[in-house]
Structures are given as structure tokens and as C-alpha cells.
Amino acid sequence: MGRGRFVFRGCIFLAGIFFACLGCGALAQTQQTAFDLDGKPSDPLAQASSKIVVLVFLRQDCPVSSRYAPVIQKISERYQHDASFFLVYPDKTESAQRIRKYLADYGYHLPALRDPEHALVKSALAEITPEAAVFNREGKLIYHGRIDNWYVEFGRSRPAPTTHELSDAIGAAISGKPLANGGVKGVGCYISDLE
């Protein structure tokens, strides 16, 4: 808590640099940020845009999240005018180089982020890979959880999904209509195993 107190005190004493204090706050938070594949800090939720933001959490060593690649790519293409998609890798041992290869192998054309400190995991309340999070145009998290109900449980999948939670959530974000269920747990690999 030492750092937090220091920043706070600085603000009181140096009222003139109020904006710097905001900067300090942001600096304090750089402890928890995601990075793009060039290693630069990146916060997809703070990007100046009125677009809907969709985060999809993936792990290379999770076969369920890999099998979803064509599904995720297709959903992102369908909503490309309304929503910005980001693939998020919460495994801190995952290198940018390996992620780049994975994107090429699986035919992804989406920006990918490393989230070693689980900053985005926390913002999105993600628990499993693959899970998605949908933030509406106001930046509010309106859905987090499974992409659809393709998987019944680990090792058992339906021939095709019969519910489509991610698409429904993006649709709700576009129309502004309320969503019946804001969170449905996914089937796959626990992100908390990576802590």
C-alpha cells in the first residue's frame, strides 16, 4: 500500500499538477497491463473509439480454445464494422513469437495481446479459455463467458452449437437491448491455473 499512499500525498501537496497525478495513477496501474506483440503496453478498453470491444481469451495448450479458431474468426468478420476484437493470451510464459506463429497457423487476422498480469482477465471476469467478454460502446462489460454451447463438458462436444452467447451479446451491444444472461461459464482450461 506504500506506493498508493505516496501518490495520494503528492497530489495533496502539489495541487498544481493534478494531471500528473492522473498520470501517476496510470503509472501505478502499469503494474497490471496487457502488451501487444511488440511488447508495448496496450489497453484495448481505453482505446478512443466508440466501437464495441470483444476480448477472447485463449491458450495455446488448450485444445478447446484452438478448435474455436474458425468460429471466432468468423464472428469477428461478421461484426467487424461494429466491434473490435482482441485475442488475449493470459499465459505469462507465452512469447510473442509463438503467438504470432499460432495466429498464422490458425488463420487468425485479429490483433493479439499478452496479458501476463491478468489485467484484462480481471476486467473481463474471465475464468476459462476460451471465453469471451463484450464491452458495449460505453465501455461497460455486458457479457462474459462461453462463445456458444458447442462443448457440453471437457471431451464432449455437440455436433453443432445450439446457443450462440457471444453473437447474441454483440447483437445486444449493437441494439442496446438488454441481455438475458450476462455470464455463462465456458468449458475449457482454467485461467487461474496460470497464476
Partner 1 sequence: MRWLIWILTLGLAAWALETAFAGGFPHQDHQAEASETQVTFNRDIAPVIFSSCASCHRPGEAAPFSLLTYEDVKKHARQIAEVTHTRNMPPWLPEPQDLKFADEMRLTAAQIDLIQKWVDQGELEGDPANRPQQPKFVEGWRLGTPDLILKAEKPLVLPPEGTDTYWNFIFRLPIQETHWVKAIEIRPGDKRFVHHANLMVDREASSRRRETTPGAGFGGMEIRIESQMFDPDSHLLFWKPGTVPYTEPEGMELRLDKGTDLILNTHLQPSGKTEVIQPSIGIYFSSHPATKLPMLLQLEDDAKLDIPAGESDFVVTDDFTLPVDVDLLAIYPHAHYLGKDIQAFATLPDGEKKTLIHISHWNLNWQAVYRYTEPVVLPKGTIVSLRYVYDNSEANPLNPNRPPARVKSGNRSSDEMCHLWLQVLPVNFDAAPGDPRMLLQEALAQHEVEKNPADFEAHYNLAAMLQAKGKLDRAMDEYQAALRLRPGDAVANNAIGSVLLAEGHPEQAGPFLEAALKARPDYFDAHYNFGNVLAAQDNFEDASTQFVLALQARPDDANTEANLGSALAEMGKISEAKGHFERALQLDPSNALAKENLAELRRTMNR
Question: Under the criterion CB under 8 A, does residue 164 sit at the interface with partner 1?
Answer: no
Q: Please identify, using beta-carbon distances, which residue of 31 and 162 lies nearer to partner 1.
A: 162
Q: Which three cell numbers, joined as nine digits, stand for 83?
A: 466491434
Q: Please identify, using beta-carbon distances, which residue of 155 and 176 lies nearer to partner 1.
A: 155
Question: Under the criterion CB under 8 A, does residue 120 sit at the interface with partner 1?
Answer: no
Q: Please identify, using beta-carbon distances, which residue of 47 and 192 lies nearer to partner 1.
A: 192
Complete DSSP assignment for 139-189: S-EEEEE-S-S-EEETTEE-SS-S--HHHHHHHHHHH----S-SEE--SSE
Question: Under the criterion CB under 8 A, does residue 67 sit at the interface with partner 1?
Answer: yes
Q: Look up cell 499465459; give the residue.
A: 91
Say whether 45 sits in a helix, a strand or coil. helix
Q: Look up cell 511488447; give the residue.
A: 39
Q: Look up cell 502499469; give the residue.
A: 30
Question: Under the criterion CB under 8 A, does residue 63 sit at the interface with partner 1?
Answer: yes
The answer to whether residues 188 and 151 touch, using CB atoms and an 8 Å cutoff, is: yes
**Shortest reach from residue 58's CB to partner 1, in Å:** 10
Interacting positions 73-112 with partner 1 (CB under 8 A): 91, 105-107
Q: Which residues bind partner 1 (CB under 8 A)?
A: 61-63, 66-71, 91, 105-107, 152-156, 158-160, 162, 189-190, 192-194
